[in-house]
Structure 1
Amino acid sequence: MEAYVNRAEKILERINALAAISEDASCVTRTFGTPAFLEGSALVKSWMEAAGLATRLDNIGNVRGRLLSARPGAKTFVIASHIDTVINAGKFDGPLGVLIGLDLLEQLVQQQAALPFNVELIAFSDEEGCRFHTTYLGSKVVVGFFEPDLLQKQNATGTNLAAALATMGCDAQQLAHDAILPADWLGYFEVHIEQGPVLYERNIPVALVTAIAGQQRVELVFKGMAGHAGTVPMSMRQDALCCAAEAILAVEQFGLAHQQTLVATVGKLDIRHAASNVIPGEVACSLDLRSADEAQLAWASQALREKLEAIVRHRDITLSWNLIQQTAPVTCDAVLNSHLARAIADAGYPVVSLVSGAGHDAVPISKVAPATMLFVRCYKGISHNPLENVELPDLAAALRVAERFLTQLITHHS
């Protein structure tokens, strides 16, 4: 185990080095396409090159390193996660999986292993979707599902995605050529922090992911009538903010009432033309619905919409329900999961199965390839927060399991 601890220490050093690259000196923020993101990508690329991988940046900004098999017609097994972050992020969400993958490939190079399939390590460029509200940009390109209309998506300053790619030195016309063809995929493996408290509470280092919850992201826009705060009687107001507040509490109550099968969250609120002496006339907020049951997710969306429409009718407010993103639940591949479960057990850990409430790049990948995921224990399940942390013994345990899993695959396909 000592060897894994030593390797885990090196991974942790790299995680800290990457975390030191940020748009904000006070926290970790490295959103897609920014100078900090490009600096971080260059650092990861240098590590891949030093490991002896055939390395390149593709046209969406993914950093990609390959080990090639000598076998004619060999398929490709991808190990990946992302290196973009949310604003005011933690260090481990995304980079942990990339840098564990890099360590695994470094070992294969040193061992001069004969590979029955190609192995490609990918540091995806945009999983979080913070800058353009375009989650899974990097992985969508790799599976060939990039929608050209996304090139016109604008960020908060009015820059569109096409312009951002040009600034990055990418060629949007070549995006289709960066895909791995469906027939060439062998499978996909991602290591990620749990982002939940189960492993922390049970003091278990790793878990097998069986499924990823489906998700709907909606923009809710409440429109009433702006007015003078001192002259419009309380009983005659069409206050969009008060209506939004009632609606937000209704979302919380709905989530609590159905917490066994779904979660419902409002995480963003925008009061348009806000002023202390003006009755709010327009308010927008986000709605995030998630469930591992596709039928339950569809039902919840309709039921919650009807509940909110009743609230706005009572308050004489109009509601716009704008679907921003929708992903179906994903079931991880049974064959790959059996290999991963065996690797966990052989490493001496209990096989705990979990459903991921968070989305991952495995979601688009699963449309073309078998996918599996390994969760790693994180401090109190905290994620998307500077307190995010993985302890060294847990990192070493994850590395041990991941290496056993990859060795099993190589043996099986040899």
Structure 2
Amino acid sequence: MQHEYLARAERIMQRIQQLAAISEEADGVTRTFGTPAFLEGRDLVQRWLEAAGLPTRVDGIGNLRARLESRNPDAKTFVLASHIDTVVNAGKFDGPLGVLMGLDLLEQLIEQKADLPFHIELIAFSDEEGVRFHTTYLGSQVVTGAFDHALLARTDAAGVTLDQALTIMGGDASQLALDAIPAAEWLGYFEMHIEQGPVLWERNVPVALVTAIAGQQRVELVFRGMAGHAGTVPMAMRQDALCAAAEFVLTAEQFAQAHGQGLVATVGKLNISHAASNVIPGEVTCTLDLRSPNQAQLADAYRALLNFAEGLAAPRNVELVWKLVQQTAPVACSQPLNDLLGQAITETGYETISLVSGAGHDAVPVSAVAPATMLFIRCYKGISHNPLEDVELPDLAAAIAVADRFISLLRTQTPTR
């Protein structure tokens, strides 16, 4: 049996390599939403789905969807999904691994001629990373009926609106509401994903059960002072925007370190307008990414850092613009589904490790309409969003065995109607 799982893992790895060869750039993997490379990659996955005998379609937001039907037309739908868009200079596994593992599961069910008490829909979400339009979860928001049509006016770096991008892709924004799975028709949701953290790597355990997904708040800050000559403006008379930003960056780090237990704070972007070595920075833009699985802790951190930023700006005679650009609440995974997935891990012979995901996933919007669970898979040193991303074959084989068992348990415990 272990040989069978390794053979399946090898086939998934081959597909991972083929898909990774399609990229906007030669270094790493870059397939951002709606680009020619994204469309080429999606077409390749669609050919694999169709070769397996699965009816497929591309919906209005560009999600690739395949469906294995139950004999019961009134059965509910269980969704297997992850995303196939990437960040810039990404690795091969973040997102696509879950999609291709889902395809492998369906291939096995087809080969077994399995009698399903529920429909299974495999979805390759088109936009989870949100790189092009600075959005997140576009694909899953459409499937869950939560899409905000105001986003259609959002523009990318080239000035192309999301609405225009959909038209170029062959989509129709006016039809997006029809692509949602009604809440009453959902049975549940299962996403398989690399851990994106070092716990499994350090403990040498192939899989983990995700109990919750951290909430996020993303902020754009602009510090506006006064540009001036580096040699002529006295230190006591300066309105240095970069010094204000630097003080904020270090305080954000110190605050998260002092208020741990899951809270993390990151300043990932810093832009100095009209930067020059002999000019006092007059305007600096930076970002703040706050995450915690505890909503109260997240809200407290947000208020504390906002108050600090306002407090440091005035003495420096610097103006602060604070703009909240995105927020999601922490999400708890479904306890009944997690119980089944935990049982599958145990029965397959592995230690059950429970983890909170600090990264966002499409399970976040899905959890508003359906029970959701996630399986993490060990990855090389926990590295993600990086060309060094890697998964070892034995770990993938173990994850396949767990996923097989989970679907088997779900089938036996789902009543037929």
Q: Provide TM-score, normalisation by structure 1.
A: 0.98
Number of residue pairs matched by the alignment: 414
Structure 2 residue 43 is matched with structure 1 residue 42: yes
For 2:369 and 2:114, locate their aligned partners in 1 and report how far apart those are by CA, in whole Å.
27
Instruction: Write the mapping of 1:45-64 to structure 2, written as runs, cut at 5 A.
Output: 45-64=46-65
Q: CA deviation at 1:276?
A: 3.3
Q: CA deviation at 1:234?
A: 2.6
Match of 1:150 in 2: 151
Q: Does the residue aligned with 1:314 lie in a helix, a strand or coil?
A: coil
Match of 1:397 in 2: 398
Match of 2:302 in 1: 301
Residue identity (%): 69
For 2:40 and 2:17, locate their aligned partners in 1 and report how far apart those are by CA, in whole Å.
14
Q: Does the residue aligned with 2:276 lie in a helix, a strand or coil?
A: coil
Deviations 1:56-91 (A, max 9, x none): 111111110001111131110000000111111111
Q: CA deviation at 1:240?
A: 0.9
Q: CA deviation at 1:280?
A: 1.7
Match of 2:232 in 1: 231
For 2:274 and 2:140, locate their aligned partners in 1 and report how far apart those are by CA, in whole Å.
37
Deviations 1:113-164 (A, max 9, x none): 1111110000001111111111000000000000011011111222211111
Which shows bigger deviation, 158-167 or 353-362?
Answer: 158-167
Q: Give the aligned CA root-mean-square deviation in angstroms.
A: 1.0
Q: Does the residue aligned with 1:284 lie in a helix, a strand or coil?
A: strand
Instruction: Write the mapping of 1:240-389 to structure 2, written as runs, cut at 5 A.
Output: 240-389=241-390
- 8 Å contact 1:379–1:389 — kept in the other structure? yes
For 1:177 and 1:302, locate their aligned partners in 2 and report how far apart those are by CA, in whole Å.
39
For 1:228 and 1:143, locate their aligned partners in 2 and report how far apart those are by CA, in whole Å.
54
Q: CA deviation at 1:27?
A: 1.6
Q: CA deviation at 1:282?
A: 1.2
Instruction: Write the mapping of 1:21-170 to structure 2, written as runs, cut at 5 A.
Output: 21-170=22-171
Structure 2: give runs of 5+ residues left out of the alignment. Answer: none
Deviations 1:212-248 (A, max 9, x none): 0111011111111122333323322111112111111
- 8 Å contact 1:63–1:124 — kept in the other structure? yes
Q: Does the residue aligned with 2:122 lie in a helix, a strand or coil?
A: strand
Match of 2:185 in 1: 184
- 8 Å contact 2:28–2:386 — kept in the other structure? no
For 1:200 and 1:206, locate their aligned partners in 2 and report how far apart those are by CA, in whole Å.
10
- 8 Å contact 1:261–1:296 — kept in the other structure? no
1:377 corresponds to which letter in structure 2?
Answer: R
2:154 corresponds to which letter in structure 1?
Answer: K
Q: CA deviation at 1:259?
A: 2.0
For 1:314 and 1:191, locate their aligned partners in 2 and report how far apart those are by CA, in whole Å.
49
For 2:181 and 2:381, locate their aligned partners in 1 and report how far apart those are by CA, in whole Å.
37
For 1:275 and 1:165, locate their aligned partners in 2 and report how far apart those are by CA, in whole Å.
40
- 8 Å contact 1:250–1:308 — kept in the other structure? no
- 8 Å contact 2:153–2:163 — kept in the other structure? yes
For 2:38 and 2:234, locate their aligned partners in 1 and report how far apart those are by CA, in whole Å.
51
Q: Does the residue aligned with 1:42 lie in a helix, a strand or coil?
A: helix
For 1:61 and 1:161, locate their aligned partners in 2 and report how far apart those are by CA, in whole Å.
12
Q: Provide TM-score, normalisation by structure 2.
A: 0.98
For 1:268 and 1:21, locate their aligned partners in 2 and report how far apart those are by CA, in whole Å.
28
Structure 1: give runs of 5+ residues left out of the alignment. Answer: none
For 2:54 and 2:326, locate their aligned partners in 1 and report how far apart those are by CA, in whole Å.
35
2:353 corresponds to which letter in structure 1?
Answer: V
